[in-house]
Amino acid sequence: MNILLAVDDSPAAAQALRLIAGYRGERARLALTVLNVQRRAPQEGGREVQAAREVLAASGFPCETAVRTGVPAQAILDEAAARRADLIVMGTRGRGGLSALGSVAMRVAHGSHLPTLLVKHDARLPAELGLRVRALVPVDGSDHALKAAARLAGWSEWLGVTAADLVYVQPGLPLIRALVPPHDELVEQWSGRESEEAMRGAREVLSRNAIEHQVHSVAGEPAQRIAQLAREMQSDLVVMGTRGLGAAHHALLGSVALKVAELAPVPVALVP
C-alpha cells in the first residue's frame, strides 16, 4: 500500500501521523512518503517532515520525505500522482462552522482520483489498525457506494478488516408517514424494499471477500445519522463514496460525504 502522508504544524496533521505510526500490521505492507507543502519557505517544510520521520522511525517505519512549494491542495495531488500513491492521508485544519474540514482538505477530497483518508484533530483512532478493524460503509444504491464497499474489501489485508456495517439512511420517511398515516404496513414494505435494493450490491461484494457484515436502515438527516452510528457502534473508520445518485431525496453521498468527515468521531476515507 503506497501512502502519501501530508503533514503540517496542525493538531489534525499530528493525529494523522499518530494514526500511521500506530499501525499494528506488518510494516512491509505500507510504503510511506511524508510530504509538506510550503507556499514560500521550504526550510520550514524540512523541519516538519524531519519531525514526522522521527516519529515514524520510532514506530519502526522507514519513509521517504518530500517538501514542495506551491498551492497546498494542488501540490498534494501532484505529488500523489507522481509517486503513484494508492491513498492520501491528511489531517483537517478547520475549527468549526461550514468550513470545519479546512479548505485544503476539501480541495484535495474534491479533486483527488485516489481515496483520501481524513483525520480530525480529535478523531478516535483505531486501536488495532492492521489487525482488527470495524468499518462503517454508508450506501445509497449508487455505483459510487458500491465502489467504496469494493475498496474496503480490497483493503482488508492491510487494514485488517474483520467486520463491516452497511448503513442506509431512509429518504423522506417522515413525509410519507404524514401523507399516508393509516398505511404503516405499506410504508414499512416500501422502506424495507428500498433499503434492501440499496444494500444488495455492497453485501455481495463483502460476502465474496468473506468480510463479516451487518446491515442497518435508519431515518434522519444522513450525515448526522451516519456519524451517530459510527459513535454508537464503536466503528474504527468510515469508508464512503464521494458521489451518489444525485437526486435530492437520495443525496446520501456526495456533499454529504464531506459533512460526515466533519461530524464523524473517527477517520473517514472518501472514495471517488
Write out pLDDT tens, residues 244-265.
Answer: 544 333 344 457 888 899 999 9
Q: Where are the alpha helices (DSSP H) in the chain?
A: 11-21, 42-58, 72-82, 103-111, 143-154, 156-159, 173-179, 184-208, 222-232, 255-263
Model confidence, pTM: 0.87
Q: Report d(CA 23, CA 32) in Å as an integer.
A: 12
Q: Report d(CA 51, CA 36) in Å as an integer.
A: 11
Q: Report d(CA 78, CA 37) in Å as an integer.
A: 11
> Could you report the per-residue pLDDT of 174-213, keeping only the tens digit for each?
555 555 555 555 445 445 677 788 889 999 999 999 999 9
SS3 for 119? strand
Tell me, what amino acid is at 101? L
Q: Report d(CA 146, CA 205) in Å as an integer.
A: 8
> Could you report the per-residue pLDDT of 228-238, keeping only the tens digit for each?
999 999 999 99
Q: Which residues of the chain have pLDDT under 70?
A: 42, 94-101, 171-192, 243-254
Q: Report d(CA 272, CA 269) in Å as an integer.
A: 10
Report residue 261 as a C-alpha cell: 468527515
Q: Report d(CA 164, CA 195) in Å as an integer.
A: 17
Which among 158, 230, 132, 143 is positioned nearest to 2, based on CA atoms?
A: 158
Domains, the chain, ranges and CATH? 2-119 (3.40.50.620), 133-266 (3.40.50.620)
